Structure 1
Amino acid sequence: MYYFDDVVEEQGNGEFYLALINTNTTEKYVLDKFRISTTTNEMKLYIISEADTFRYNRKLKSKVEMDDLVNKISQMAEDVDFKNNSIHSPYRK
């Protein structure tokens, strides 16, 4: 299991992608296909990508805070997909 506390959008080789950052170790994990899993009884958020599992390392104080983070990550993933794949994207070549 890997840990992260930030999600960023980055660009490289003409493609956009999401990266999970562990600011304690400065490790970066690039996401491709993934799903988000949450547990409300423990207030934990996980991202599962291929065979890797990433756990959000900061304390989530409420379900609303967790839902907001899930929505933020989902929206970022949609934005990356649009930039890479939509015929309407100004970034598409």
Structure 2
Amino acid sequence: MQRLFTRLIFWASIICLGYSFNNSEIVLIRDIFKNFNFLFFIFFGGIIHYCVNQQEKMTELLLTSELQLRALNTIIDFYQMEADKNLNKIDNIK
């Protein structure tokens, strides 16, 4: 939901940058720049969009790392069990 909201803000700010309807006339981009509210909207919308993308990338990396750690733990457990079996065989031989 947060991702959808930030993308809506981002694309709405780009659309507002290009076109603004004032009395059914298209206002030029230089007139939009005179209004600082649009600049702040675009600036903060872009920052929020960037931060959400970075957060998603970090979440994917963490999930990947967690899966790799679980796989390594499974492999270690397997070899530990095999080592215990071999030690039991050695103890039985003695």
Normalising by structure 1, report the TM-score. 0.34
Structure number with larger C-alpha Rg: 2
Greater share of helix:
2
Greater share of strand:
1
